[in-house]
Chains A and B, each alone.
Chain A
Amino acid sequence: EADIYQTPRYLVIGTGKKITLECSQTMGHDKMYWYQQDPGMELHLIHYSYGVNSTEKGDLSSESTVSRIRTEHFPLTLESARPSHTSQYLCASSEESPWEYQETQYFGPGTRLLVL
């Protein structure tokens, strides 16, 4: 079972503040992902990484940025938070499977962000 952690779990912050959502995993997984999920809606991929120094944007346009300096960490940063950023942010990781397309993504508990 993979261990993947997200902090903070809940964050209430004012408009214009800079925030960083932390995500870390202890399984040595190369692939990591950030999803955004609004209540009752599907998850949308906003960023992913296939390894150190690799970051790509997902399908949903996001004003956030990510970095991957270490395998275990994949932080997400919003330079200037706005009410439209209010959502749940889920981090996930997966490892390369010896069997093609058998990769399972392991999810963290999520961060619920409220921007006032």
Chain B
Amino acid sequence: KQEVTQIPAALSVPEGENLVLNCSFTDSAIYNLQWFRQDPGKGLTSLLLIQSSQREQTSGRLNASLDKSSGRSTLYIAASQPGDSATYLCAALSNFGNEKLTFGTGTRLTIIP
């Protein structure tokens, strides 16, 4: 059974700083690793998807990396802004009888102006 862990559960960072969010997964037999953003009271927005054969993906100020062998992924946010404040979730797509996403509990990020 796949388990996804995100540490820390909450993080506060001054505006303008670069930061890294961590995600770990127990079973390296994944198809892809995805990062989502969730704003309070809203659904999830997909940020980045990294295929199992890839090492990283970039979108604007966001860069996600994947190390399957160690069961880790990181989301790097450059030059943080108050609008980046949200909960960030990672999810691993695995095949345990059916292809499904296993989500972590998320890291609640607060950017301090």
Interface residues of A (CB under 8 A from B): 4, 6, 40-45, 48, 56, 58-59, 90, 92, 100-102, 104-110, 112
Q: Let me know if A109 and B104 touch, CB within 8 A.
A: no
Q: Let me know if B105 and A42 touch, CB within 8 A.
A: yes
Within the complex, the shortest CB–CB distance from B3 to chain A, in Å, comes to 10
Q: How many A-B residue pairs have CB under 8 A?
A: 59
Measured between beta carbons, the chain B residues less than 8 angstroms from A104 are 34, 46, 49
Which of B41, B42, B103 makes the CB contact (< 8 A) with A43? Answer: B103
- Majority secondary structure of chain B interface residues (helix, strand, loop or mixed): strand
Complex Cα spacing A6 to B43, Å: 10
Measured between beta carbons, the chain A residues less than 8 angstroms from B34 are 104-105
Q: How large is the interface on B (under 10, 10 to 19, 20 to 34, 35 or more residues)?
A: 20 to 34
The 8 nearest A-B residue pairs measured at CB: A107-B43, A101-B31, A107-B44, A43-B103, A42-B103, A104-B46, A42-B105, A109-B43
Nearest residue, chain B, Cβ from A59:
B100
Q: Let me know if A105 and B31 touch, CB within 8 A.
A: no
Q: Is B58 part of the contact surface with A, judged by Cβ < 8 Å?
A: no
Q: Let me know if A102 and B43 touch, CB within 8 A.
A: no
Within the complex, the shortest CB–CB distance from A71 to chain B, in Å, comes to 20
Measured between beta carbons, the chain B residues less than 8 angstroms from A58 are 100
Within the complex, the shortest CB–CB distance from B70 to chain A, in Å, comes to 20
Measured between beta carbons, the chain A residues less than 8 angstroms from B89 are 42-43
Complex Cα spacing A44 to B26, Å: 17
Q: Is B4 part of the contact surface with A, judged by Cβ < 8 Å?
A: yes
